[in-house]
Amino acid sequence: MHEIPTREFERRLNELHRVMERRGLSAVYLVSAVNIAYFTGFYYLQTERPLAIVIRSNGDVFFFGPLLERDHVLYQSRLITRTYVYRDYPGETHPMKLFAEWLKELHLDSAVIGYDVAPGYVGYWGYKGPSLTELLPNAKFVSIADEIYAMRVIKSDVEIELLRESAKWANLAHSLLQDYTAPGLYDYEVSLRASLDASVIMKKALGPNYRPLRSEYPAYAGFRGQVGEHGAFPHSISVERPIRVGDVLVTGATADISGYMAELERNLFVGEPPSEVIKYHKIALKLQEAALNALRPGVKASDVDRAVIKAAKELGVYDYLLHHSGHGLGLEAHEAPFLDVGDDTVLRPGMVVTVEPGIYVPKLGGFRHSDTVVIRDDGIEVITYYPRDTESLIVEV
């Protein structure tokens, strides 16, 4: 499966309509690009130009936005009842004033309207503008952000299948990344080649109707600058030197399946790793195992992180543990819940999280594996499956 069937959007909208009925709402006003994609299938590049989706209690779905997105939304989504467009921002008349006029036209200027992020637009790329609460003083705007997030945090069978498909292609992309890694090459050379080849194979396999939605290419594999000593920076981004023999590499791979992207991360070792590297790699695996062993339905997210912290202290690496043990995953790369001591969310079947405790040793490198895990009724399902043992992750030189 690589497309979201219409019945899935209908399910989501029906659930939203139940929220509307329960809260006494005449409409819902969405501005989050992720929420818009979740309910309508319309993905777009968010800019300074205000854009919103209005969903009425009678089932109508309206698009408010710039002219340049009109044909795009109609191409991507079959759920839009009508489009309202303005030429561009800021324009002779501010778009938010037009939004207010369009809501009046829809007889919503005195209604109770639920919103996800803001009753207007978010401050994005220099946007400035009034709130609809100022422009429509007789309307009542109420936040339903929590209700929407509660819907998104439990993944449907369709969403889990999309993530499983993503994990399959992430595995291919990472395999190519390992094959192409060699001393003397820059990280981006290896990443671009592996990502391109995996993307071409993926596109050919999935057929002419497949298209990536959250990224510009289907599959990705790379290092994010975590090469050698730079691996000790969890978010290094880039490195100024080529890959060398003896480097510990922190890698990542994913693939875009209707906007859902599983997370796969591993270590690679350029040449036979010394005993110190093997020691830290095995410790990192023990920390991930501590998290996986604690992960099950009914457990608090915070308790999973506590299990990792306890293991890190026992193994003498707590000072190298720089972040929490994982996070939710879905249409966004990071979502709630967070496997963090401060998040007491009770894990439930249908939640999807990454499990990725990492240790970062100055001047040596980072040691982190990340796997995508589905919480099931009777335990967990790990849907990423690239080898984790040291021997399988050695790059021959």
May I ask the CATH class of domain 6-152?
A: alpha beta
The alpha carbons of the chain give a radius of gyration, in whole angstroms, of: 23
Cβ-based burial of 172 (10 A; exposed 0-12, middle 13-18, buried ≥19): buried
CATH 3.40.350.10 maps onto the chain at 6-152
What whole-number distance in Å separates Cα of residue 374 and Cα of residue 376?
6
How high is the pLDDT of residue 216? 80
267's tokens: 């270590």
Look at the block and give the residue holding tokens 């194979």.
201
| Per-block mean pLDDT, blocks of 10 residues, the chain (397 long) | 90 97 98 96 94 96 97 93 97 97 97 96 92 97 97 97 98 98 98 97 94 88 95 92 97 96 98 97 98 98 98 98 97 95 98 98 97 97 97 96
Find out whether 361 and 329 touch, Cβ atoms under 8 Å.
Answer: no
Task: Please state which CATH number belongs to domain 154-395.
Answer: 3.90.230.10
Enumerate the H helices of 41-140 as residue ranges: 70-76, 95-105, 132-135
What whole-number distance in Å separates Cα of residue 397 and Cα of residue 271?
6
CATH 3.90.230.10 maps onto the chain at 154-395
3-state secondary structure of 1: coil
| 239-259 as b/e: b if 16+ CB within 10 A | beebbeebbbbbbbbbbbbbb
3-state secondary structure of 122: coil
